[in-house]
Structure 1
Amino acid sequence: MNASASARTRRNLPVAVIGAGPYGLSTAAHLRARGVPTRVFGEPMVSWSAHMPAGMLLKSTPVASNIDAPQPGHGLLDYCLATGEKRYESDWDIVPVETFTRYGRWFRRELVPDLEQVRVVAVDRRRGGGFEVKLDSGDVCVARSVVVATGLSGFAYVPPVLGAAVPDGPTPTGPVSHSSQHPDPARLAGREVAVVGAGQSALETAVLAAEAGAASVRVVARGRTAVGFGAPPDRQPRFRPESPFGRAWSLYALTYHAGAYRHLPAPVRHDLVRRVLGPLGAWWLRERFAGRVSVTQGHAVRRVALAGGGRVRLELDGGAAVEADHVIAATGYRVDLAAMGFLGPALRASLARSGRTPAPMLGPDFQSSAPGLFFTGLPAAASYGPLMRFVVGTEYASPRVARAAAHT
């Protein structure tokens, strides 16, 4: 077979999209709109339904909570109008996670109806070009390109000092867990809980535990400044440009010029991903937090010891200590290619990393150093910035990924 015939054959193969959260569904919708054969694998919105606590509210405003589609009529407000749900449209409207999950499943039914709810177990290069995607059903999909859109899956981060106390891994029934393991805060009722962290996840996890009847809740934050909350819509700076995250020049640049981000030096990119839109609670959480949750700040956890009666003792720097029945690490997520076990060892080893991090280094249009292998959503943050940590990033990423994957 000559080169041109081989290229035509490859173009007849589908693009495989792994993941059915906002980024996977959005990318698939854009591919289909281009007429590209596409197969999409995963359980729709599973991270939102299985790993977010009941009663959680989105920090993003409604306008920043739209899953991008190739045609109008598929935003959050469109879903509310189509189903008769309460309308969420102003910056004062706070979106419940349950509503957003239903919206994502509606988006899937409208634009990705033939989603295959199977798990991808292996992805390897195929001799002659393209990829071989093995499914847990036993089937094999031969694809011309692959888009990894697995969201937060496998990236829950527990600091080593906390992980050392649970060598078999964090669990909601053990002494230490991760915040993603508590979809039902009511299970914490009657317990003394310590939450390690200072971001939205930590502060909201603490509030939900307190409201669910926990005996006491304490946030342990290493920062020396007070636990902070954002400004409400009517207190945003007036003379700075608008962005989905608030009024600020930096937020505007990161939102609308994400393509330039990957040209920054690696240390600068990684520092910005950590700091921008970092540890800060939503403005609407402040009132619920005050008086319900205690705070120990300015102390890092140095050691975790199991005390009598199944209690956990956090030994902090400076000689301070906190005891609780259970410790929750609300310490976020860190992308690590090693956690993507479905990528074949040879394929994974061939991928260029972003600086000294274990995250993939991406080139134009979110393509990795392995031609035809794309990453979108959180794994793209090291290359394209903190915008990729939020649903609103689908507007930037999905059309570009689809355009590039269509031409592989």
Structure 2
Amino acid sequence: MDDLVVVGAGPYGLSIAAHARVAGIGVRVLGRPMASWRDHMPEGMYLKSEPWSSNLSAPGGRHTLAEYCAGRGLAAEHGRPLPIDTFSAYGLWFARRAAPEVEEVTVTEVTPQGDGFRIRTAEGPPLLARTVALAVGVMPFVRHPEALRGLPPGHYSHSSGHRDLARFAGQEVAVVGAGQAALETAALLAENGARPVLVARRSRIDWNTVPQPLERPALRALRSPHSGLGTGWRSWVWSELPWAVRRLPAPTRERIAATALGPAGAWWLRDRFEQRVPVLLGHRLHRAVPVGDRTRLGLTTTAGESVVLDVAHVIAATGFHPDLARLGMLDARLRAALETVGDGGTPELGADFESSWPGLFFAGLLTAPSFGPSMRFVHGAGFTAGRLVAGVRRRLGARGRPAGPLGTARPARAGAGHPKTSAR
């Protein structure tokens, strides 16, 4: 039986595995390395966050993005956007150096068994683990507008469903949304010869400002500090104090996770977008019907006027909605037994990312209503990995497994000793 199985091999999964490896924990990592970044982002996209805040996490701060880029003559500079393909390659480089070998299998089921878990995959026999960390990324939580869900599959897609937007050359494409994914997808469509139009409920598009220099006079730095999630005190709190967010009442945490750091475009994208993409702002999508091989959208303006838009395809760049109910790999009985944040569908977590089911840990998007918006970004992996692995060590110690060479296991978190027997 393995000490820890990490499900997912993106920035969070690889960071957790790197910390577990150094801690002497027997860890296995299951998944396709950097899958979301390699398979679900169009060619030509750039990383929105600054390179210095986009590191995967290894003990001692090793294996940084800057180190990877320096060894290849690439620029990883503040205020200079980095191609997504470069970041994906960095993640693979990190995996080879810092983490155990990733097993590229598809996990189909995680079920309690005895004092641990059984993990089934599509490719081989089941595995047994004392603890499990679910770092499944965002793809299970793709969100489509309700109006599009009745369309035949070929009429619409999600922005995460494309690598090559050149297939839409010469076609009219409606892009629904107002965040970075929508704006950059629309710009890339135009640059690939398509005729996009952006449709958004919002009355305006928000754009991030050009980042201030890292080196600034002390007073300016104090007034508006840099952080891994942007400039300003509010961003600094979300970035640097996730532990404090967790101590807030559940409704407050849910509201912060849902509203903080809302939709906005990167400063470097604005000229590319505004020069080539027409917009329909203040337009709510309420109806979508297929008309032959095209799609007719029914829109309503803020003044109550009806607008009809006829396009060849619709791309929903409407983000991701974390919800345990959509995590089909997780045993239904276990899922129903988990304590959740308020009335939402995300797991309530301890300070070490352990759920109410002993030995089951979560990382990434599902943890945002517990720890705040930094869990939606790569930057949050640094906060998560060390704390989660410390929780795994404590859990292993509580179950009689030595906690590895870095210290003695401590008692398990109070209140986490027994799984719930019924849903709340």
- Superposition TM-score, scaled by structure 2 size: 0.88
- 2-side partners of 1:375 and 1:28: how far apart? 13
Q: Given the alignment of the two structures, is residue 392 of structure 1 paired with residue 379 of structure 2, yes or no?
A: yes
Query: 1:148 is matched with which residue?
Result: 134
State the secondary structure of the residue aligned to 1:71.
helix
Unaligned runs of 5+ in 2: 215-219, 396-424
- In structure 2, the residue matched to 1:102 is 89
Report % sequence identity: 43
Q: Give the CA deviation at 1:311.
A: 3.3
Could you tell me which amino acid in structure 2 is paired with residue 240 of structure 1?
S
1:222 counterpart = 2:206? no
CA RMSD between the two structures: 1.7
- Following TM superposition, by how much is the alpha carbon of 1:250 offset from its aligned partner in structure 2, in angstroms? 1.1
Partner of 1:232: 210
Question: What is the alpha-carbon distance in structure 2 between the residues aligned to residue 311 and residue 349 of structure 1?
Answer: 38
Which runs of 5 or more residues in structure 1 are unaligned?
A: 1-11
AA paired with 2:259? R
Query: Residue 269 of structure 1 contacts residue 385 of structure 1 at CA under 8 Å; is this kept in 2?
Result: yes
- Whether the 8 Å contact between 1:192 and 1:325 is mirrored in structure 2 is yes
Tell me, in whole angstroms, the C-alpha distance in 2 between the residues paired with 1:76 and 1:251.
22
Determine the structure 2 residue equivalent to 1:81. Answer: 70
Structure 2 residue 154 is the aligned partner of structure 1 residue 165:
no
Map 1:7-406 → 2, pairs under 5 A: 13-82=2-71, 84-88=72-76, 90-127=77-114, 129-166=115-152, 171=153, 174-214=154-194, 216-224=195-203, 226-234=204-212, 239-308=223-292, 310-317=294-301, 318=304, 319-406=306-393
Q: Do the aligned residues in 2 keep the contact of 1:221 with 1:300 (CA within 8 Å)?
A: yes
Give the Å deviation of 1:316. 2.4
Q: Which deviates more from structure 2 when the two are superposed, residues 236-245 or residues 97-106?
A: 236-245
1:361-397 per-residue CA deviation (whole Å, 9 max, x = no partner) reads 2122111111110100111111111100111111101
Structure 2 residue identity aligned to 1:257: L
In 1: Cα distance, 2:314 partner to 2:255 partner: 27
Summarize deviations over 1:35-82 as a string: whole Å, max 9, x none. 111111111111111101111101100011110111333000111123
CA distance in 1, matches of 2:22, 2:298: 53
The secondary structure found in structure 1 opposite 2:97 is helix
The answer as to whether partners of 2:256 and 2:369 remain within 8 angstroms in 1 is no
AA at the equivalent of 2:271 = E
Contact 2:296–2:308 (CA under 8 A) maintained in structure 1? no
> What CA distance in whole angstroms lies between the structure 2 residues aligned with 1:352 and 1:131?
18
1:155-201 Cα offsets, whole Å, 9 max, x none, are: 110021221334xxxx4xx1111111111111111110111100001
**Change in 2 beyond 3 A, CA 1:267/1:72:** closer
- Larger strand fraction of residues: 2
Q: How many residue pairs get matched?
A: 386
SS in 2 for 1:278: coil
Query: Amino acid of the residue matched to residue 330 of structure 1?
Result: A
Q: Structure 2: how far apart are the matches of 1:99 and 1:232?
A: 22
Q: Matched residues in 1 for 2:292 and 2:116: separation?
A: 57
Partners of 1:346 and 1:311 in 2: CA distance = 40
Give the 3-state SS of the residue equivalent to 2:207 in structure 1. coil
Q: Distance in 2 between matches of 1:314 and 1:21?
A: 38
8 A Cα contact 1:312 1:326, kept in partner: no
Instruction: Please tell me whether the aligned partners of residues 283 and 299 of structure 2 are also in contact (alpha carbons under 8 angstroms).
Output: no
Give the secondary-structure state (helix, strand or coil) at the position aligned to 2:379: helix
Between the aligned partners of 1:394 and 1:311, the Cα distance in structure 2 is 40
Q: How big is the shift at 1:85?
A: 4.0
Q: Distance in 1 between matches of 2:358 and 2:224?
A: 40
Letter in 2 for 1:300: R
C-alpha distance in 1 between matches for 2:66 and 2:298 = 45
Amino acid at match of 1:234: Q
Q: How far does residue 264 in structure 1 lie from its aligned partner after superposition? A: 2.1
Using structure 1 for the length normalisation, give the TM-score: 0.91
For 1:124, the aligned partner's letter is: T
Kindly provide the CA deviation profile for residues 95-131 of structure 1, in whole angstroms up to 9, marking residues without a partner as x.
111000000000001112422111222111112x111
Mapped partners of 2:212, 2:127: distance in 1? 51
SS in 1 for 2:310: strand
Alpha-carbon offset, residue 244 of structure 1 = 1.7
